[in-house]
């Protein structure tokens, strides 16, 4: 059973604050790491697929970094807005050609206006 941990479990920030949270995963047999954004009553939305150690990806105000040697990825949100409020999930693939994802419990971000 793979251990994918996310911290913190929840986070409240004020509009305009920048924030970050962590996903830790097994550092051996690394293949990729996925980040998803999940708003209430909607489908989880793919944000990033991180594949190389030292990778940094950016999508608007959201960016992510990857350290495969130590087994963690950070997600950063710059200048949080209320519409960023969501649960952010990371997922670690295994299972060969079936590419099965093991998810963390997520970080619930609430941005107060």
Partner 1 sequence: GAVVSQHPSWVICKSGTSVKIECRSLDFQATTMFWYRQFPKQSLMLMATSNEGSKATYEQGVEKDKFLINHASLTLSTLTVTSAHPEDSSFYICSARDTGLAGGHYEQYFGPGTRLTVT
The residue from 29, 41, 60, 70 that contacts partner 1 (CB under 8 A) is 41
Residue 104 binding partner 1, by CB under 8 A? yes
How far is 79 from 57, CA to CA, in rounded Å?
17
Residue 72 beta carbon to partner 1: minimum distance, rounded to whole angstroms = 17
List the 72-77 sheet strands across, edge first: 5-7, 19-24, 72-77, 62-67, 56-59
Residue 34 beta carbon to partner 1: minimum distance, rounded to whole angstroms = 8
Q: Which is nearer to partner 1, 40 or 113 (CB)?
A: 40
Q: Total number of residues binding partner 1 (CB under 8 A)?
A: 24
Closest CA to 103 of 113, 90, 86: 90
Which of the stretches 18-26, 45-53, 67-75, 77-85 binds partner 1 when contact is defined by CB under 8 A? 45-53
User: Which positions touch partner 1 (CB under 8 A)?
Assistant: 4, 31-32, 34, 36, 41-46, 49, 51, 89, 93, 98-106
């Amino acid at each position: 059973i793979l251990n994918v941990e996310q911290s913190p479990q929840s986070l409240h920030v004020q509009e305009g604050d920048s924030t970050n949270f962590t996903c830790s995963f097994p550092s051996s047999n690394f293949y990729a790491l996925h980040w998803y954004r999940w708003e209430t009553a909607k489908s989880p939305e793919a944000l990033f697929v991180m594949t190389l150690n030292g990778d940094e990806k950016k999508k608007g105000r959201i960016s992510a970094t990857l350290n495969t040697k130590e087994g963690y990825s950070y997600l950063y949100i710059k200048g949080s807005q209320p519409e960023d409020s969501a649960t952010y999930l990371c997922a670690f693939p295994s299972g060969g050609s079936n590419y099965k994802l093991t998810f963390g419990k997520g970080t619930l971000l609430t941005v107060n206006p």
